[in-house]
Amino acid sequence: MYQYQVSFGDAISRAFNKYCCFTGRASRSEYWWFVLFVAIVGWGIGIVFGLTFGTDSFAYQTIAGVWNLAVLLPTLGLVFRRLHDTGRSGWNWCWSFLPVVGWIILLIYLCQDSQMVENKYGPVPNLRY
């Protein structure tokens, strides 16, 4: 029995299909692939529109703002599901409000292995026998 790793495309698809889902569990690969996708698109917007219009322009600010709003709920839901996968309440994301130390604590939680047994948040995601 092992937990298979989801692909880059599958992680993106799952995150947007569960757009505002704060229940269940998400594997480490599902979470980090989506984080990479959000970062790449964000950097792409910054490079293309930031260099074209300037970072202070209305066009750049609007496009970046729309992107950030579009991924806010899927990202937050994925953080909750990832924390559930480690056996913690999703509300542990509130550690991020604590400067420096809070982000370190949250990062440690998000990087931990999945609980390989069913927990109160649901069955093990991506489980293969």
What global pTM score does this model have? 0.92
pLDDT in tens, 46-102: 999 888 888 889 989 999 999 999 999 999 999 999 999 999 999 999 999 999 999
Residue 15 burial by Cβ neighbours in a 10 Å radius (0-12, 13-18, 19+):
buried
Sole residue written with tokens 């948040």: 121
Return the closest-CA partner of residue 25 out of 94, 115, 125, 92.
Answer: 125
What span, in angstroms and rounded, lies between the C-alpha atoms of 106 and 125? 21
Report domain extents, the chain: 2-128
Return the SS3 of 126. coil
Angle in degrees, CA 16, 39, 127, rounded to 5: 50
Two tokens, residue 73: 């709920």
What span, in angstroms and rounded, lies between the C-alpha atoms of 14 and 6? 10
